[in-house]
Amino acid sequence: MEMSNSFLITTKDLVRTFPMGRTKIFALDGVSLNFKAGEFAGLVGPSGSGKTTFLNIVGSLDSPTEGSAVVMGKKIETLSHKQAAWLRNKNIGFIFQTFNLLPVYTVYENVEFTLLLLKMSANERRKKVMQALEWVKLADRAKSKPSQLSGGESQRVAVARAVVKEPPIILADEPTANLDAENSYNILDTMVTLNRELGTTFIFATHDQKVIKYLRRKITLFDGKVAKDEQVEPEKGKGEEQ
């Protein structure tokens, strides 16, 4: 399937319900959004507004109850588990609130893991991993274990893990929730640089004001509906809240 109107992600009347006893909860209730390549967008809104559910569906981790979601030309609702895994593997990077690094492996090996699934040659893997660690300024910590890293460094490794395969889309769910202000700004600066240099589309789910200041598109969700979708002027740089 062709990518609709050059959008990387298109959702139309997206509905996702969860059973709750005899009733059902509408986590998403008719969400229609499009994302182009190179966007730096965020989903904001109170808890339970549907931010994570939206990321789940466009990240091919979940399927919509109704409506459609097309990501990189693939209809999410029609994908098998294996096809969804392949879509994530090839096209989507994830950054989580907790860093979720594999504790027994080094920084280098944590970043390398996603490339192992893509069956790249060892040389190519080495080149890409070192490049990704350069992007997040952690090349000198390649042999360190996660337990030897600070929270900020761990999240930078998680960013490197997400970008190493140079996916067109990165989904970040509250990526700064476990970081102090300085590390949050460092991470966000890194993401902005990657967005600019690689053209990667970043979509955040966040309530963190520090993240919101970096967004160029702010989508406010409320009760599973899009309350506001606006282009905003990002307040670049760090330090205002410090």
Partner 1 sequence: MIKFLLKGIIRDRSRSLFPVITVVLGVSLTVLGYSYFNGVMTSWMQTSAKFEAGHMKIMSRAYAENADQTPNDLAFIGVENLLADFKKDFPELLVAPRIRFGGLFDIPDELGETKAQGPIIGLAVDLFSEESPEKDMLNLENAVVRGRMPQKYGEILISDEFARRLNVLPGQTSTLIGSTMYGNMAVVNFTVVGTLRFGVLAMDRGTIIADLADIQEALDMKDAAGEILVFFNDFVYREEAADRITETFNEKYSDKDDEFSPVMVTFYDQGGMADFMGMVSTFQGVLIFSFIAVMSIVLWNAGLMGTLRRYGEIGVRLAVGEAKGHLYRSMILESLMIGVIGTILGTVLGLGFAYFLQSKGINLGNMMQSSNMVINEIIRAKVTPVSYVIGFVPGLLATLLGTSISGLGIYKRQTSQLMKELEV
Q: Using CB under 8 A as the criterion, which residues of the chain lie in contact with partner 1 when the complex forms?
A: 52, 55-56, 59, 61-63, 81-82, 84-90, 92-94, 96-98, 100, 102, 104-105, 109, 112-114, 116-117, 161, 173-174
68/83 with CB nearer partner 1: 83
Under 8 Å CB-to-CB from 90, ≥6 apart: which residues?
A: 118, 165, 167
> Minimum distance from CB of 242 to partner 1 (Å)?
26
User: Rounded to the nearest whole angstrom, what is the least distance from the CB of residue 47 to partner 1 in the complex?
Assistant: 12
> Cβ closer to partner 1: 152 or 175?
175
* C-alpha to C-alpha distances, 152 to 40, 139, 159, 175, 231, nearest whole angstrom: 21, 15, 11, 10, 29
Q: Give the residue among 49, 39, 79, 74 at the shortest CA–CA distance from 62.
A: 79
As a whole number of angstroms, the distance between CA 179 and CA 198 comes to: 25
Minimum CB–partner distance for residue 119 and partner 1 (Å): 9
To partner 1, the closest distance from the beta carbon of 236 in angstroms equals 28
38: closest CA among 193, 220, 208? Answer: 193
Q: What dihedral angle (degrees, nearest 10) is formed by the CA atoms of 53, 57, 60, 66?
A: 140
Nearer to partner 1, 141 or 161 (CB): 161
Between 90 and 236, whose beta carbon lies closer to partner 1?
90
